[in-house]
Amino acid sequence: MRFLSIMLLAMLLATPTLANEVYRTVDDRGVVVFSDRPLSSASVRVTVETESPAAGASQSVASADPQRDENAARERGLQAARAEQAEIRAEACRQARAAVETYETSPRLYESLPDGGRRYLSDEEMAAARQQARQAVADYCVN
């Protein structure tokens, strides 16, 4: 994939009349794409420095470091995953706290039966359910 990106860049540099501006985009999977227009809000304009072919100088792209960009894309992906995990954990904490509140304030607890009826929990089952709810708060609500 890196070879494809380099070849695309070489083609863009070899034909300067096709594009006056070059944009570099790294997608969610870390694939680098060069184009003549921004593909997303994450697209970055790349400065292309060229010399006349008569001078025999090579063409180069300033600020193109694929390894650094791959590492940055990987780090952004990790940060997004951590943020998503924190949101899931916060929601689990809210639900666990709500369950503790319900279990602690309700004089009787029941479970719904498939036929629509109710089976009330014994004192031992209620104590176990309350303990499980407290443990869920301890598991999900730590900071």
Q: Where are the domains of the chain?
A: 2-64, 89-140
What are the pLDDT digits (tens) for 13-46? 555 444 467 888 887 777 777 787 888 887 888 8
Tokens (6 digits) for 115: 């036929």
Contacts of 16 (CB under 8 A, 6+ apart): 48, 50
**Does position 128 have pLDDT exceeding 90, yes or no?**
yes
Residue located via tokens 């407290």: 134
Q: Cβ atoms within 10 A of the Cβ of 24, count? A: 21
Q: What is the reported pLDDT for 100?
A: 93
Measured CA to CA, the distance from residue 63 to residue 52 in angstroms comes to 21
pLDDT in tens, 76-107: 888 988 889 888 888 989 999 999 999 999 88
Q: What percentage of the chain has pLDDT greater than the value 70? A: 74
